[in-house]
Amino acid sequence: MTWHTEATKFLFFTGKGGVGKTSLACATAVRLADAGRRVLLVSTDPASNLSDVFGTDIGSGTPTPIGGVANLNALNIDPNAAAQSYRDRVVGPVRGSLPDEVIRRMEEELSGACTTEIAAFDEFTGLLTDAQTVGRYDHIIFDTAPTGHTLRLLTLPGAWSDFLDTNTGGASCLGPLSGLEKQRLQYHSAVESLTDADRTTIVLVSRPQKAALAEAARTSTELHAIGVKNQRLVVNGVMPDTGSDDPLARSMRQRDAEAVGAMPGSLRSLPADEVVLRPVNLVGVDALRALLDPFDPSADFGAPASSPEAAETRRLAELVSAVEADGHGLVMVMGKGGVGKTTIAAAIAAELARRGYGVHLTTTDPAAHIADAIGGGADRLEVSRIDPRAETEAYRSRVLETKGKDLDLQGRALLEEDLRSPCTEEIAVFQAFSRVIKESQKRFVVMDTAPTGHTLLLLDATGSYHREIERHAKSGTRFTTPMMRLQDPKQTKVLIVTLPETTPVLEAAGLQDELRRAGVEPYAWVINASLSVAETTDPLLRARAAGEASLIRAVHAEHAARAFVVPWQAEPPVGVDALLRLVGEPISPAATGGMERGSQ
């Protein structure tokens, strides 16, 4: 393993959700700090779980020393805190000198997702360019959000730099450009750091799975296109040979080998390492230190697994029966990256279509390829993706055709200039999201959402729009906003997907808290890829399963109104037939309380 022994000043860990970016970033930080290096570990994920991994309350703004690891500090970039700080800087100087109504309007205008994004982005670029911070540490390690969000983060320095260089109208969606000169220089400097191979390394993390390796290859290509070329590949969670002849373990080893053997050619040219699957959850400094140690197949992997009670392992078919009772509606599948949201969403959509409903399966994840999960498709099932680029271009065209049609040349030029702002993408994606929500009034729409942090930003935009409509509505006027539909359990059922592991369960609970603060009550949890309900005799897999039963019971007792457990699959459930098998047998009318199919 060489990525940490040859570490540059900046290390970025990126990849598809759930591949182990946080574990490897944390383990690398600990290993470098143990070697006497001064290390700052930074999470750019809006759904950061650094605090859970280290068992330490890690905040934003000021780095937190990590107990038990000399030389290591950690920091979260909190988008909401960054946005509030940004608003204070903009509004603070004029508070008291302008009317209260003007101040309230300024604060409302700065409450959207665009402000949240740019504020967090400013903190990120500051860590790359601030001489005092850069000089204080030997290494700054970034644990990033899942791929789609991270690609946007890494391309934004160039996008905003270009926008500020070419915008001559003197204004942007964030206010007068005269106040953004500092950012202009900061963004140029950030681009230089990201493209300097002597200073920056991108560690592409993947599981030994075809989809994850394909995602890593796409990421590698896109990063090359913006000049970020110093890349390494780490294949994480490879099933080792423990000496057992367990069919599940044997299938996992074969699947891993086939996936790695067939990896895209663009990855084969990169320096690469493998990290084997470990028998314990990677929480705590001791577990992180052991992650990068050589694997010992003769080790005692721990106690045998205890299985959850049968009542705690209800099938997905029962969940689909409950969803179909209304005959239409929105099913939003949410969770941290890598927990299997796409698979669960595709399985529910395929089963609803099999039962005779027209279904629209879509995704808001910039990195999702949901069509791959369905395979050849199915009758009555439409599959789509809210593509940020396509939606942005369509939005720009609509605005130019409407607001721009009667403008003179100068006015149209200013409008075109404003529409080149990276913030335009956030508006376009929100509008597409709103159209899909409205569509669910007539048929089933199953939405595979982006990983938690990105989805919460989208919900922030939905809430901002709702407040704007409320503020301008005349007294007594009736209206329905997308947020109101999300808050209505007859219109929307939110499903939280998690894994039977400590950190994913804690993150799912945190997501549920955020949803409740927005007035959205989750309908059910889905605990995916459970070894405790799969039959295995392999000692490593049984050790991993041993910790699951108590977590599944805790989900039932402390978090979820309803919970459904999906077993670990020896083969990836790709294609309609495999997805239907994942759902299980249909539930009889007697078992579901006589639910009848609603109107189609």
Structure tokens at 453: 């942090």
* Cβ atoms 366, 149 nearer than 8 A: yes
User: Which of 43, 115, 452, 503 is labelled catalytic?
Assistant: 503
| 18 catalytic per annotation | yes
* Region for residue 341 given its phi and psi (left: phi exceeds 0; alpha: psi -120 to 50; beta: otherwise): alpha
| 503 catalytic per annotation | yes
| 45 catalytic per annotation | yes
User: Which of 14, 16, 17, 21 is labelled catalytic?
Assistant: 21
DSSP E strands, 338-430: 359-363, 381-383
User: Which of 18, 404, 547, 584 is labelled catalytic?
Assistant: 18
User: Which of 14, 17, 23, 161 is labelled catalytic?
Assistant: 23
Q: What letter does residue 324 receive in the DSSP assignment?
A: G
| 20 catalytic per annotation | yes
Q: d(Cα 267, Cα 233) in Å, to the nearest integer?
A: 7
CA angle 219, 25, 509 (to 5 degrees): 90
User: Which of 45, 143, 365, 448 is labelled catalytic?
Assistant: 45
User: Which of 14, 15, 17, 22 is labelled catalytic?
Assistant: 22
Task: Give the closest residue to 41 by CA, choosing from 119, 112, 139.
Answer: 139
Task: Give the closest residue to 180 by CA, choosing from 414, 10, 421, 415.
Answer: 421
* Cβ atoms 128, 194 nearer than 8 A: yes
Q: What is the DSSP string of 19-80?
A: SSHHHHHHHHHHHHHHTT--EEEEE--TT--HHHHHTS---SSS-EEPTT-TTEEEEE--HH
User: Which of 15, 17, 20, 340 is labelled catalytic?
Assistant: 20
| 23 catalytic per annotation | yes
* Cβ atoms 83, 119 nearer than 8 A: yes
Longest dimension (CA), the chain: 77
Which residues are known to be catalytic? 18, 20-23, 45, 503
